[in-house]
Chain A
Amino acid sequence: MRVVQLLPTLSFGDGVGNDAIALKEIIGKMGYSTEIYAENIDKRLPEGTAVKADRLRDLKKEDVLIYHKSTGTDLSFKIDNYKCRRVMIYHNITPPEFFRPYSPSAAQLTEYGYKGVEYLRDKVDYVLAVSEYNKSELIRMGYTCPIDISPSLTRFEDYEQEPDAATVKKYSDGKKNIIFVGRIAPNKRQENVIRAYCCYRKLNPDSRLILVGSSSGMENYSERLAKYAGALGLGDDVIFTGHIKFSEILAYYHTADAFLCMSEHEGLCVPLVESMYFGVPIIAYNTSAIGETLGGSGILLDDNDPVFTAAVLDRLLTDDKLRESIIEGQRRRLEYFSYERLKDIFETKLKAFIEGK
């Protein structure tokens, strides 16, 4: 029996791609014949990681096709051509409204993504959503098939690699480093991170804000953010890293004093899990799947008021007892995302679906 995965693009170092690769290993160990099929395969991936999607043929009725849904693609409208059992892993799609002012193409792509999700409503037999938030979104969209939660797999051993020494050295100068990690995108509301930092800087000028993430495709938004930081007089204290190497991302986590997240839309916020791993205390605005990801750890804010956020940040960075307690809470929460635990969840759910339980 075959259990295969299908996705439009298998990228190197991307969350969905990493998840598919990890699941391939798990499915193989479960004893099924498996493969990843993708329309586009990143050339940096090792040979044999995936096969071109047009070679996906001869699926039998009892075989299982796992389709990863995270973007707008024609593939969503062809899934019902595969006459087998169909499972969708829903990673979430950012609402197009966020992109409309800055990138019509991104808005169109995500709009098409939602059309695909709607189309698949009665074409899949089972869904694994990466968060409760994603599950409720699908239910709102009229999904009636069984939906379970199976968060994306994160390999913590990847974080044990050496961080970039030059970056560590550069930012270990005694200044408080406030970071946010995530691509520069309007749904992540980096402007509200800047606003909060602007208020915090009045309380502690010996600090900096580092926005770690690529701005590719969102240049207009990124430019506006940089102008905003400049106009607020924050100048060199707000750093936009742009696209950087993995070892540099690790370095920013290593040198961070706090992680500040004001994002308004996340299907599952992996950087929060990463912060938990690196023992960086988190302050986050409670929206979408943020609260669910934190699971009671970190400091969750009910509104995005910059003055209050700054005051909380100041307290967190000056009150050792509070900081240690937050980090300890995050460490406990991290166990929920352990590879072994999430692997067991996936195996159990997939097995139950295959055996028709």
Chain B
Amino acid sequence: MENETINIEKIMEEIRQGIKEQGLTADMLSFEDVPYRKSAIGGSVSEALDYISTHYYIQPYKELKGNPVKVFVKKVLRKLMKFYVEPAVFEQNDFNANAVTVIKSLAGSKSADMSSKVEAMELAHKELIIRLDKLERENAELRRALAKERG
């Protein structure tokens, strides 16, 4: 910061002094306070919504793999478990279908808009608290100075 015609270091010192004298502070909302959409490894929220919309129906039976003996054993086991697995899977599918319907309607409805409004109000609230703190501090300092003057 060397300069031939002006002394920048001196100017910087003057600026620092000015800040001190005026009591300027950086009382403001921190960037970390601002929520944001975190990207999951699997992709965005809309991608996740697409996924659940197309994958909510679970097949109770999977393709059986292995050598013919293993496949035969698995088939027997599957038959034996059928009475338990099938109703549970169908019940789960009913629940999934309803859950997806609700999630999609929430995502598409005003509630998404509302949540962003709530978020903005929460941030504004935080910012106001910071300002209020600052004003209270200034007020206390002024009162002290006034009391000193009177006393």
Contacts and interface: CB of A to CB of B under 8 A. Distances in A.
Interface of A: 101-104, 191, 195, 198-199, 220-221, 223-224, 227-228, 230-233, 296, 299-300, 305-308, 311-312, 315, 319, 321-322, 325-326, 329
B26 A195 contact: yes
Interface string B30-50: 010111111111000000000
B147 interface: no
Contact of A311 (B24, B33, B35): B24
Nearest to A231: B123
A300 B11 CA distance: 13
A299 B8 contact: yes
A311 B26 contact: no
Contacts of B123: 227, 230-231
Given A228-B29, A233-B127, A300-B1, A102 B12 contact: no
A117 to B, nearest CB: 24
B30 to A, nearest CB: 9
B5 A325 contact: yes
Interface of B: 1-3, 5-6, 8, 11-12, 15-16, 18-19, 24-26, 28-29, 31, 33-41, 119-120, 123-124, 126-127
B36 A220 contact: yes
A183 B118 CA distance: 29
Given A231-B120, A231-B127, A296-B1, A199 B26 contact: yes
A228 B34 contact: yes
Given A232-B127, A315-B15, A307 B25 contact: yes
Which 4 A-B pairs give the minimum distances between C-beta atoms? A231-B123, A224-B36, A191-B31, A311-B15
Contacts of A232: 28-29, 127
Nearest to A300: B1
Contacts of B19: 307-308, 311
Given A231-B124, A306-B28, A325-B3, 8 more contacts: A103-B39, A104-B39, A104-B41, A199-B24, A199-B28, A220-B36, A232-B28, A321-B5
Given A227-B123, A231-B120, A307-B26, A102 B36 contact: yes
Question: In the complex, which of the residues B1, B29, B33 has the most CB atoms of chain A within 10 Å of its own CB atom?
Answer: B1
A199 B19 CA distance: 12
Contact of A307 (B2, B24, B120, B124): B24
B28 A102 contact: no
A55 B144 CA distance: 80
Nearest to B121: A231
Contacts of A199: 24, 26, 28
